[in-house]
């Protein structure tokens, strides 16, 4: 996916998030984020949008602290969120491809990083907002979900700060059943090592080197890996799924 595709996704997902938050109301519980109400979700995502935009528009080449959460609520909070989202979309869409600024995951360019990261950030939180409503959240496109799995496994959990560690070496495999993509995570007391390959090859029950495999449609795996849904299918050592749940959270700092 290219920058403009990510910006288009960010645009649609942010508008859907705001619409769901408006329908649910600020007091509604966010089912996928225990302990959060809709106002918490909107404040957090709006803060992240403004934080991300500052790097691209102001050219910061080192880490910059966020501006904190607003005390706004209700209609004022939603207006603040929509304004920040719109500014982020417009800034990413109009930024020069060679803009130089800080980023924190591998990407073809800083602009590509921020467009991708904010598209996925907003998609996951759109699902959160819709979880505060009755019914099933809108679907995530398979190709977008595959990219998001790749960002999470090879990006976030390719860093030394990942807490997904196992006492003894073992292998967790993630297989998308509707896309030509399989990820192999080698876990140990050290940071995880992830590789992506085509979907062909032995399943967990046919491969003695794989301790556990999670499989299913890419969109379900995407949300499961972000700890928003249960994994569709688990074969092998299910304790690795519990390990993932306990240690994989990406937290704001």
CATH class of 144-247: alpha beta
List the one residue out of 236, 106, 250, 137 whose CA is nearest residue 184: 236
Entry pTM: 0.95
Percentage of the chain surpassing pLDDT 70? 96
Q: Decide if pLDDT at 204 tops 60.
A: no
DSSP conformational letter for 188: S
pLDDT of res. 135? 82
Instruction: Confirm if 132 and 143 have CB atoms less than 8 A apart.
Output: no
pLDDT of res. 132? 97
Where do the structural domains in the chain lie, given as residue ranges? 3-131, 144-247
Residues in the chain: 253
Phi-psi region of 124 (alpha: psi -120 to 50; beta: other; left: phi over 0): alpha
Cβ count near 182 (within 10 Å): 19
DSSP string, 115-130: HHHHHHHHHHHHHHHH
Categorize the per-residue pLDDT at 42 as very low, low, confident or very high, splitting at 50, 70 and 90: very high
Average pLDDT, integer, range 23-31: 97
CATH number of 3-131: 1.20.120
List the one residue out of 114, 117, 119, 84 whose CA is nearest residue 10: 119
Quick one: tokens of 94?
A: 């109009």
pLDDT of res. 209? 87
Categorize the per-residue pLDDT at 200 as very low, low, confident or very high, splitting at 50, 70 and 90: low
Instruction: Confirm if 174 and 149 have CB atoms less than 8 A apart.
Output: yes
List the one residue out of 216, 196, 199 whose CA is nearest residue 150: 196
Two domains, one topology: 3-131 and 144-247: no
Q: What's the CA gap between 13 and 205, in Å, rounded?
A: 38
Q: Decide if pLDDT at 131 tops 80.
A: yes
Average pLDDT, integer, range 220-233: 97
Q: Decide if pLDDT at 43 tops 60.
A: yes
Percentage of the chain surpassing pLDDT 90? 92
Average pLDDT, integer, range 11-31: 98
DSSP conformational letter for 206: G
Q: What's the CA gap between 185 and 54, in Å, rounded?
A: 34
């Amino acid at each position: 996916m290219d920058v403009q595709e990510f910006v288009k996704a960010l645009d649609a997902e942010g508008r859907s998030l705001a619409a769901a938050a408006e329908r649910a109301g600020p007091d509604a519980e966010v089912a996928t984020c225990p302990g959060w109400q809709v106002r918490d979700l909107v404040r957090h995502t709006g803060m992240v949008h403004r934080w991300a935009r500052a790097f691209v528009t102001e050219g910061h080449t080192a880490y910059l602290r966020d501006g904190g959460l607003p005390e706004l609520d209700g209609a004022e909070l939603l207006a603040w969120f929509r304004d920040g989202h719109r500014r982020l979309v417009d800034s990413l869409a109009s930024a020069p491809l060679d803009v130089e600024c800080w980023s924190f995951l591998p990407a073809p360019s800083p602009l590509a990083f921020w467009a991708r990261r904010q598209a996925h950030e907003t998609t996951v939180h759109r699902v959160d907002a819709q979880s505060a409503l009755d019914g099933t959240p809108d679907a995530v496109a398979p190709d977008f979900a595959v990219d998001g799995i790749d960002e999470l496994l090879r990006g976030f959990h390719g860093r030394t700060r990942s807490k997904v560690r196992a006492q003894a070496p073992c292998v967790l495999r993630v297989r998308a059943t509707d896309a030509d993509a399989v990820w192999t995570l080698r876990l140990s007391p050290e940071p995880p090592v992830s590789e992506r390959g085509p979907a062909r090859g032995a399943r967990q029950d046919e491969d003695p080197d794989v301790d556990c495999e999670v499989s299913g449609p890419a969109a379900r795996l995407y949300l499961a890996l972000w700890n928003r849904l249960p994994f569709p299918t688990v074969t092998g050592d299910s304790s690795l799924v519990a390990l993932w749940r306990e240690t994989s959270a990406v937290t704001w700092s």
